[in-house]
Chain A
Amino acid sequence: DQQVKQNSPSLSVQEGRISILNCDYTNSMFDYFLWYKKYPAEGPTFLISISSIKDKNEDGRFTVFLNKSAKHLSLHIVPSQPGDSAVYFCAASAAGNQFYFGTGTSLTVIP
């Protein structure tokens, strides 16, 4: 049973606008969340993370929001750039154990 879900397989956004990628999870024991970015023929690369003690973490154009009561996190990219076009995976773990990944959302930023 999938514990981390990304219900949008794809998203298209105009360059300069905001991209919002969503992720839902079912396990209330998850206490650490990450976003990875993946280009074709490459492995995922770490983008940003958030601990369950926070509700927001920001790194440049990337912000992750965590809503524990809704078991939902989102990644905001603003402004979006063509180089941001990639597949984005969210992942979660509990107590430092294995990561559970979502199925990924393919983001296309249109110039």
Chain B
Amino acid sequence: EAGVTQFPSHSVIEKGQTVTLRCDPISGHDNLYWYRRVMGKEIKFLLHFVKESKQDESGMPNNRFLAERTGGTYSTLKVQPAELEDSGVYFCASSQSSGGATDTQYFGPGTRLTVL
């Protein structure tokens, strides 16, 4: 069974540009999460999808970030326009079942975003 995949693995862009990150969850997982880790800091929750609906987007930093999950399969996270403080590693995770805390979340390898 394929795990969570993320594309690209690295992205280097200039301030003001747009970047779109993609996450493909494990097949059949209804729950999809986005997290971000700024270098040396904690892994921070961004948002949670159940199928195509946003269950919790309380962690999204501001309106420059837009997450979508059309059709309830893969998800994209767009940053427009990117700022220097957006640099970090963006992780995607997915889980089956109810999406509660006791469901194991399986993480992808992350996308390392560098904004110059």
Chain A residues within CB distance 8 Å of chain B: 2, 4, 32, 36, 41-46, 49, 51, 89, 91, 93, 95-104
Interface residues of B in 96-115 (CB under 8 A from A): 98-102, 104-110
Inter-chain CB contacts under 8 Å: number: 57
Residues in A neighbouring B85, C-beta threshold 8 A: none
B91 to A43, Cβ gap below 8 A? yes
Residue in A closest to B104 when the chains form the complex, CB atoms: A46
Q: How far is the CB of B95 from chain A (nearest CB, A)?
A: 10
Segment among B13-21, B38-46, B66-74, B75-83 that sits at the interface with chain A: B38-46
| With known contacts A4-B42, A98-B48, A102-B42, A43–B101 Cβ distance under 8 A | no
B41 touching A103 by the CB < 8 A rule? yes
Shortest distance from the beta carbon of B46 to any chain A beta carbon, whole Å: 9
Q: Mark B1-35, 1 if CB is under 8 A from A, else 0.
A: 00010000000000000000000000000000001
When the two chains form their complex, are residues B91 and A98 in contact, meaning their CB atoms are under 8 A apart?
no
Interface of B is mostly: loop
Q: Report the minimum CB–CB distance from B27 to chain A (whole Å).
A: 17
- In angstroms, Cα B42 to Cα A2, docked, is 8
Cβ of B58 within 8 Å of any chain A Cβ, yes or no, is: yes
Knowing A42-B109, A43-B107, A43-B110, say if A32 contacts B101 (CB, 8 Å): yes
Chain A residues closer than 8 Å to B109, beta-carbon distance: 41-43
Across the interface, which residues of A come within 8 angstroms of B42, CB to CB? 2, 4, 89, 100-104
23 contacts between A and B (CB under 8 A): A32-B102, A43-B91, A43-B106, A43-B108, A43-B110, A44-B43, A45-B106, A46-B104, A46-B106, A93-B101, A95-B101, A96-B100, A96-B101, A98-B58, A98-B59, A99-B45, A99-B105, A100-B45, A101-B35, A101-B42, A102-B42, A103-B41, A104-B43
Evaluate contact between A103 and B40: CB separation under 8 angstroms: yes
Kindly state whether residue B93 has any CB partner on chain A within 8 Å: yes
Q: Lowest 9 CB-CB distances: which A-B pairs, in order?
A: A43-B107, A96-B100, A93-B101, A101-B43, A98-B45, A32-B101, A96-B101, A101-B42, A103-B42
